Amino acid sequence: MKTSAQHLKRKKNVPILLLLLLTVLLLFIVAWQVALRQRADVPEKEMESLPENVSVEKNENSISIPGYEGIDLKADSLQQDVAFRNPAQNTCYFVMQLYLEDGSLLWESDYIRPGELSAPMALTQALQKGTYSNAVLKCSCFKMDEEKTPLNGAEMKLTIRVK
- pLDDT averaged over every residue in the chain: 83
User: What pLDDT digit, counting tens, does each position of 78-95 carry?
Assistant: 999 999 999 999 999 999
pLDDT at 115: 95
Which residues on neighbouring strands pair with residue 85, listed in sequence order?
Answer: 117
Let me know if residue 47 belongs to a domain.
Answer: no
Residues 66 and 135 in one domain: yes
Residues 32 and 60 in one domain: no
Residues 137 and 72 in one domain: yes
Domain total of the chain: 2
Which residues on neighbouring strands pair with residue 37, listed in sequence order?
Answer: none
Percentage of residues of the chain with pLDDT beyond 90: 61
Let me know if residue 43 belongs to a domain.
Answer: no
Residues 152 and 91 in one domain: yes
Residues 110 and 156 in one domain: yes
CATH of the domain at 138: 2.60.40.2550
User: What pLDDT digit, counting tens, does each position of 9-29 carry?
Assistant: 666 677 777 777 777 777 767
Residues 60 and 33 in one domain: no
Percentage of residues of the chain with pLDDT beyond 70: 74
Let me know if residue 49 belongs to a domain.
Answer: no
Residues 100 and 127 in one domain: yes
Report CA dihedral (87, 61, 112, 75) to the nearest 10 degrees.
-60
- Identify the CA nearest to 48 among candidates 122, 93, 115, 139: 115
User: What pLDDT digit, counting tens, does each position of 106-119 carry?
Assistant: 999 999 999 999 99
pLDDT at 39: 46
Let me know if residue 117 belongs to a domain.
Answer: yes
Let me know if residue 17 belongs to a domain.
Answer: yes
Residues 132 and 92 in one domain: yes
Residues 93 and 33 in one domain: no
Residues 81 and 153 in one domain: yes
Residues 12 and 74 in one domain: no
pLDDT band at 44 (very low <50, low <70, confident <90, very high): very low
Residues 91 and 30 in one domain: no
The pTM of the full predicted model, rounded to 2 decimals, is: 0.66
Burial of 23 (0-12, 13-18, 19+ CB in 10 A): exposed
Q: What range does the domain containing 100 cover?
A: 56-162
Higher pLDDT, 53 or 151: 151
* The amino acid at 163: K
Let me know if residue 46 belongs to a domain.
Answer: no
Let me know if residue 44 belongs to a domain.
Answer: no
d(CA 137, CA 106): 10
